[in-house]
Structure formats: structure tokens, C-alpha cells
Amino acid sequence: MTIASINPTTNKTEKVFKEMTQEEVQAIIEQVHTAWNSWKHTTLAEKKSFMLNAGKILRDDKTKYARIMTIEMGKPIKQAEGEIEKCALVCEYYAEHAASILKEEIVQTDASKSYVRFDPLGIILAIMPWNFPFWQVFRFAAPALMAGNVGILKHASNVPQCALAIEEVFKKAGFPDHTFRTLLISSKHIDAVIADPRVKAVTLTGSDHAGRAVGACAGKQIKKSVLELGGSDPFIVLDDFNLDATVDAAVYARHMNNGQSCIASKRFIVVEQVADRFLVMFKQKASALKMGDPLDPSVGLGPLAREDLAIQLDQQVKNALAHGATLLLGGKRKGAFYEPTILTNIKKENPAYAEEFFGPVALVFVVRDAEEAIHVANDTPFGLGASIWTRDTKKAEELAQQIEAGCVFVNGFVKSDPRLPFGGVKTSGYGRELSHYGMKEFVNIKTVWIK
């Protein structure tokens, strides 16, 4: 079997790779396991030096890596460059903060001395998606490697060049051989890798369907897993905020990365006092987005990552319309491209009410007040992120307590930050990435008691 890198803008096959055999996979796992036996004893100072090198390489070769990303999955080039910068930032953050995060915690007990230490587990398998093909990997790899673990990456099959480029970054940065490796394999081989006794834990970013499968497999093997899954984030607009600024943020929050983000705002919940004006402005500004070749810096909306994804999105829109939704804008597909689309009048019995639309499709719900907005926001299987737009920040904090999500942003669209924990609840997954919480997901939290 082969793994192809196909440019979604042109539908041209850029490169084809042969899938690794079981023997090759086993050899890589053994090499990575051997590397861990020395890496776990490497000093934090040495790890810091390597990780800072990785950040520098990313910044120095930003244009090269961004171009690979854009050609392989269609991200607008300026956003791709921003993603590489963010990867450098997470490398620098954990290089600088790992020592304080992993510092032994002294606890006063009946012992002469008792403390908690944080030891590495070993090989961590990362199963990563195509939508942020560098960032998703680095936000796992930077804390995992600094904690003394080693990594194996099973990337999405449509971004093999990104996967190999990431492995290249760690090699160039001076990390010991086999500290981080890529497996070019299809999804059907994942269970066998998770089951390998040398693999100690697994992290997945992907759909809730993939999360159920990986979580079940890891549970069967009694191995730790962290799952960051889908989202249908609410964007709540109250009646007292600057509407022009709110709509600008709404358009960006829905269409960033061509609408293909777990934390993209997907459900726009607007109080009725400003709903008509919001819809007029939202339609006007969304329709003004320039759609085209994502290598053109002036383009704000490129293709979906694969044509089949655009076909699937189109079917979702048609199904929503067949169940009574109203089409306010867009609704047309051309190849892997999909127009900015706005749907309204979505009733609870409409399948669209509970679905995640992974592309430039916005669902708008009009509500009476803040209380109904919270009800609609929580009336979903997902719980990744949410945003609230209001001048009354005290009220927003009260509302934030009621929202069932891993993060709530007030007067800002949802984003991830190395300093803050990231993850979801309900079918959006469990566990956390980033901050000190994320770093401690893949360590042995060990009690030491001495008398």
C-alpha cells in the first residue's frame, strides 16, 4: 500500500510513499525504546538546548515548512507561517519552564521526608490530524520530550511530508537518534502499535469516532490516553457589545484554517435584539472573503484538505436544508473548495443541530436572552471551547461557570496557548495538553516517603 501527498488546490499528487512493513515498524519501535534508555537520563539543561534549537530551526525555515503545509493540506500561507511560529513558541516555552514544572514537590507528612517526583513513562504514541499538521504534533512533543519521554508519530495519511519534516526538525536540532520518529502506516495498524508493550501511552487529536476506537484500545491494554476530539463551539453574542468588532471576530473564528478547526466557532448564538443586524453584517463580511490558491498571501479561504471532505460537508448542508434549515449564504462546492455558508432556522429535530461542520459553514441560532443562550450552548454532545461577547465581563464570568466546555473566552475567539491547559469534556475528549497540566499527563507521578 502507498501513502500519497495530494495537493487539494490542484488535486495533483505531489509525492507517493510506500507504507512501512510490520518489520520496519517493529524495528523503529525498538530503536526508539533503546533511545529512551539513555534519553531519560539526559539532563534538563541538555534537553533545553536541543529544544531551543528546534524552535530556532522552525523560525529560520518558517517559509519552507509553511509551504509544505499549504501544498499538502490547503492552509492559507500566512496562517501556515503563523502555525510554524506557534510551534517555535511551544518549544521555547517548555525549554524554559520544564525545570520548574518537573521540580519535586515537598509534602509535609509523618515521614522524615516525603515528596512527589515526576518521572518519564517511555514511548508515547501520538496519533495526529491533518488540520494543524505541525502545531498538533509540537504541542504534544515539546512537553513529552522535555519530560524525558520519547515519541512515535502516526500522522494523518494525507500529510506524510509534514510528518517527515517534523522528524527532520528534531534531527537537525541535535536530539539523539530515534528520540522522535514517524511511522508511515495506515490507521488499521494503530491497534498493534498501542498494544506493543514498549509503548506506554497514547495521545490522539481527531474525531470522536477515532477517539472511541483509540480510547477503547488503550483501555484494553491498561495504558494512559489523552483524547482531544471534535467540537461545535458556541459563539454567544449578547446585546451590549460592539457589533462591528464582534462580527469581524466571528468571521475569522469560523473561517480560520478554511473552517477546519476543532475550536473554530461553529454555532453563533445571538440574542434577538441584535440578531438581524448581526446576520446582515455577518453575511456581508463572510461573502467578502477571498477564496483561491492558498499560496497567494491575499487569499483568506483555501480548499478543504481533501475533496472527499468537501463532498461530505456539502451533503451535511443539503441534509440540513432538507430538514428545514434556511440557506442565507453559500452552499456551493467546486472540487475541494467550499463557499462561506450560513445556515439559520435550525430546529432541534434537524440533524445539523447536533453535528460538527468541519468547514466554512456557520450555524446561527437566535435566542431570547442570556439564559436561553447558555441552554443552546450546552445542548450539544461536544464541550471543547466557547466564547462570550459582552461589555459586562462580570456577567460573562458568571455565564462562563455555566458553560460545559474545557475553555471559555470572553471577548476573544478560542485559541490554544502554551501557558494554559487545553482540552474538552463530554464527547470532546478527556485529559489536557499544554501548560503544566499537559506536561504532567505523561509522567509517573511518584510518591517518595522516607523515615
pTM of the predicted model as reported, rounded to 2 decimal places: 0.97
CA distance linking residue 395 with residue 427, whole number of Å? 27
**Do 10 and 138 belong together in one domain?**
yes
d(CA 336, CA 309): 7
Q: Give the amino acid at 207.
A: S
**Residue 417 is assigned to a structural domain of this protein:** no
288 plus 164 within the same structural domain: no
Q: Round to whole Å and give the CA distance between 304 and 322.
A: 23
Amino acid symbol at 163: A
What CATH number does residue 170 fall under? 3.40.605.10
Pull the grid cell for residue 411. Answer: 471577548
Structurally, how many domains does the chain consist of? 2
DSSP readout, 358-404?
Answer: -SSEEEEEEESSHHHHHHHHHSSS--SEEEEE-S-HHHHHHHHHH--
The answer to whether the CB of 406 falls within 8 A of the CB of 428 is: yes
Query: What are the strands of the beta sheet with 105-106, ordered from one edge?
Result: 105-106, 113-120, 443-450
Which domain does 267 fall in, by range? 233-410
Q: Would you call 23 exposed, middle or buried from its count of C-beta atoms within 10 A (0-12, 13-18, 19+)?
A: exposed
Sign of the CA dihedral running 299, 384, 203, 361: negative
Are residues 171 and 295 both part of a single domain?
no
Residue 183 sits in the same domain as residue 81: yes
Residue 131 domain-assigned?
Answer: yes
| 85, three cell numbers | 511560529
- Asked whether residue 420 is assigned to any structural domain, the reply reads no
Q: Quick check: helix, strand or coil at residue 332?
A: coil
* pLDDT at residue 1 in the model: 86
Q: Are residues 212 and 284 in the same domain?
A: no
291 and 169 part of one domain: no
In a domain? residue 419 = no
Q: Which residues are catalytic?
A: 228, 262
Q: What tens-digit pLDDT sequence spans the chain (451 residues)? A: 899 999 999 999 999 999 999 999 999 999 999 999 999 999 999 999 999 999 999 999 999 999 999 999 999 999 999 999 999 999 999 999 999 999 999 999 999 999 999 999 999 999 999 999 999 999 999 999 999 999 999 999 999 999 999 999 999 999 999 999 999 999 999 999 999 999 999 999 999 999 999 999 999 999 999 999 999 999 999 999 899 999 999 999 999 999 999 999 999 999 999 999 999 999 999 999 999 999 999 999 999 999 999 999 999 999 999 999 999 999 999 999 999 999 999 999 999 999 999 999 999 999 999 999 999 999 999 999 999 999 999 999 999 999 999 999 999 999 999 999 999 999 999 999 999 999 999 999 999 999 9
In one-letter notation, the amino acid at residue 434 is L
Q: Are residues 216 and 252 both part of a single domain?
A: no
For residue 39, being part of any structural domain is answered with yes
**Buried b or exposed e, range 187-221, using 16+ CB within 10 angstroms:** eeebeebbebeebbbbbbbbbbebbebbbebbeeb
Q: Do 203 and 94 fall into the same domain? A: yes
Cβ burial of 371 (10 Å; 0-12, 13-18, 19+) is exposed
Same domain, 57 and 100: yes
Question: Are 323 and 215 found together in one domain?
Answer: no
Asked, for residue 105, whether it belongs to a domain, the answer is yes
421: in domain: no
Beta strands in 190-232, from DSSP E residues, in sequence order: 199-205, 224-228
Residue with cell 515528596: 115
Same domain, 434 and 378: no
In a domain, 83, yes or no: yes
The domain that holds 293 is classified in CATH as: 3.40.309.10
Does 255 lie in the same domain as 134?
Answer: no
- Cα 449–Cα 445–Cα 37 angle in degrees, nearest 5: 105
